[in-house]
Chain A
Amino acid sequence: MLKKMKKNTKNNLITYAMVTAAFIIMQLLISVGAVSSLLEGLMVPLCTYIVLAVSLNLVVGILGELSLGHAGFMCVGAFSSAFFSKCMRDVITAAPLRFFLAMLVGIAVAAVFGVLIGIPVLRLKGDYLAIVTLAFGEIIKNLVNVLYIGKDSEGFHFSTKDVMALDMAPDGTVIVNGPQGITGTPKDATFFIGFLLILLTLFIVINLTNSRDGRAIMAIRDNRIAAESVGINVTKYKLMAFTVSAALAGAAGVLYAHNLSTLTANTNNFGYNMSITILVFVVLGGIGSIRGSVIAAVVLTLLPEVLRGLSDYRMLIYAVVLIVMMIFNWAPGAIAWREKYFHFGKNKRGAGK
């Protein structure tokens, strides 16, 4: 027992140490100018992806349900926080404070969406749950694209038609401009903040998993009927995992939004494609393995950029990674083959039924 606890703790410390070391090395390389500006510009998005992957793993690996709408929560966090920051740009001039508050706004709004969407969605399971999360993700993206918000001396104006329909006084400014999104969000996000957010995400997900509540969540994953029979409140714990995951995705969205001067919602950043990209990280890293998610996000984000020729094949690589990883890890034939020749892969944690 004691040995196991130590092993677990040691394992988690390695994850924290790895992330910290990678950050320090990268920071050093940047300060001596050994990193191309392209790669340097990739650091904040990379932090975003890591946070997204780790948070999605909470739902896919720990809760054992497939969410295809993770980008939707990121979208909610991004837009709500960018809206907040743009409104507060002149009110709160201290960037760190403003960003901190924006972060709280993004997390809170995403968590609320997590609860609102989670309550109906979590009544379903398996394929149906996956497809409904996809539907919610697409609906969020669609709604953001028809949202117009303006502000004038009388206060806020809303519309789902166009800017004219906002009917603002001449002094009014458009804040959210439909498909054009939000422009002029302060660029408050930095690599260091991204690094801190990764640590926070790891801390929350790892500690939740290794607690009474985390055990309940994994028990539901492994056998829902047995979990109920020992008195686990299935709805409560499913919702807990889903909401924490949504809130962290929201945080990733805040980071993402404050790294861009123009924030728009399209398929590639907040739609289905993004949700799948994150899923690829989780699958490659090993479903249920937190450290794996981090490593996979780094490798799959940087590899196509470092090896220039690969960037055209990026999505193709993702597709092949998904198929090969799934068959290699889960096909009974492949498992038998691996055990015969390599004797590993027996003690893997995996997605539930």
Chain B
Amino acid sequence: MSFISYLINGLSLGSVYAIIALGYTMVYGIAKMLNFAHGDVIMIGAYAALISMTQAGLSPVIAILIAVVVCTVLGMAIERIAYRPLSKASSTLVVLITAIGVSYLLQNVALLIFGANAQTFPTVIQWKGVSLAGGRLNISGETIVTIAVCLIIMAALITFVQKTKSGQAMRAVSEDRGAAQLMGINVNGTIALTFAIGSALAAIAGVLLCSTYPSLTPYTGAMPGIKAFVAAVFGGIGSIPGAFIGGILLGIIEIISKAYISSQMADAIVFAVLIIVLLVKPTGLLGKKIQEKV
């Protein structure tokens, strides 16, 4: 029975990774850059929700909405100020280093404002959850809601990308930016929209993450951010279903490793997964192969 409960915990953690990984994978697919600061946007979202609830005394739903707005604005601002000037730079390393800088900036601004001490995050989910098998298997409300939210977001996002005009623009920009521009697609606008969606999802992920693991520091987002990137690569970067599968698998791998191998080694195992995936199948589970042109 404990194995099943680990599995469910893994599913829940994996769902959070999946939501974060969506932000990574969309930005990577469309803007062709690794937005290293994505994890830290999560942390900002969590702080925004926390302050709305504890300082302003707002209801959880309003708090989540505020977090979503804050992160959306933040994500778009980061794109506009730090990344867009470099979108035509000669080297991809340039953008990556800048993104690392943004990640550091967010962490350290949060550190100055909120301090290094961990703050307790009140849960936004009042539901106690369900108890199965005569009380031997308890599934918390947070777990169920997290998994459900992840599924809803996934379905909504796939519909958006497939059915709407903006979604089509995203796919076009991701295939060939130059050609999309020639076809009259607003490339900068599309990239900004991608950042907006990714960051809004980061806010939701932040609230869900902190509801399950209720300790918030300026560094809360960094590790889940990097792991979600691992998940995105695992599933195949640029692929929305890939981010989902990668996230879930990674969450389960992490929780199972913690339970059965060593809690100190769990992170190392997650990183080993990344290394193995990149060396064996760099395109991930669902990714496409890109041939270099000579």
Contacts and interface: CB of A to CB of B under 8 A. Distances in A.
Interface string B87-126: 0111111101110111111011101100000000000000
B156 to A, nearest CB: 28
Nearest to A331: B85
B108 A131 contact: no
Interface string B236-265: 000000000000000000000000001011
Interface residues of A, number: 49
A142 interface: yes
A124 B262 CA distance: 29
A318 B85 CA distance: 20
Contacts of B66: none
Given A138-B271, A327-B82, A315 B104 contact: yes
A319 B104 contact: yes
Contacts of A303: none
Contacts of B82: 323, 327
Given A316-B109, A320-B105, A322-B101, A330 B233 contact: no
A326 B229 contact: no
Given A124-B278, A330-B91, A146 B262 contact: yes
Contact of A316 (B108, B229, B230, B233): B108
Interface string B263-281: 0110110011011001100
A310 to B, nearest CB: 13
Contact of B92 (A127, A146, A320, A332): A127
Interface in A135-161: 135-136, 138-139, 142-143, 145-146, 160
Interface stretch (A82-90, A232-240, A345-353): A345-353
A146 B264 contact: yes
A292 to B, nearest CB: 15
A135 B96 CA distance: 16
A128 B264 contact: no
A132 to B, nearest CB: 6
B144 interface: no
B86 interface: yes
Nearest to A124: B278
A59 to B, nearest CB: 11
Interface string A29-72: 00000000000000000000000000000001000111010000
A65 B100 CA distance: 15
Interface in B172-221: none
Contact of B97 (A139, A279, A316): A279
Nearest to B94: A330
A96 interface: no
B275 A120 contact: yes
B294 interface: yes
A128 B278 contact: yes
Given A316-B109, A327-B86, A327-B98, A276 B93 contact: no
A326 B101 contact: yes
Majority secondary structure of chain B interface residues (helix, strand, loop or mixed): helix
Given A146-B262, A316-B109, A319-B108, A132 B275 contact: yes
A139 B96 contact: no
A146 B265 contact: yes
A210 to B, nearest CB: 23
Contacts of B85: 327, 331-334
Contacts of B108: 313, 315-316, 319
A241 interface: no
A123 interface: yes
B282 interface: yes
A322 B278 contact: no
A290 interface: no
A130 interface: yes
B34 interface: yes
B89 A135 contact: no
A24 interface: no
A283 B97 CA distance: 9
A283 B111 CA distance: 24
Contacts of B98: 322-323, 326-327
A91 B92 CA distance: 51
Contact of A131 (B34, B107, B112): B34
Interface of B: 33-34, 82, 85-86, 88-94, 96-98, 100-105, 107-109, 111-112, 226, 229-230, 233, 262, 264-265, 267-268, 271-272, 274-275, 278-279, 282, 292, 294
**3 nearest interchain CB pairs?**
A322-B101, A319-B104, A135-B271
18 contacts: A65-B93, A66-B97, A123-B279, A124-B278, A132-B275, A132-B278, A135-B230, A145-B264, A312-B112, A316-B109, A319-B102, A319-B104, A319-B108, A322-B100, A330-B90, A332-B88, A333-B85, A353-B92
Interface of A: 60, 64-66, 68, 120, 123-124, 126-128, 130-132, 134-136, 138-139, 142-143, 145-146, 160, 225, 276, 279, 283, 312-313, 315-316, 318-323, 326-327, 330-334, 350-353
Given A315-B107, A316-B108, 14 more contacts: A66-B96, A127-B33, A127-B96, A136-B271, A138-B268, A146-B264, A160-B262, A283-B97, A319-B105, A321-B101, A326-B94, A327-B86, A330-B91, A353-B92
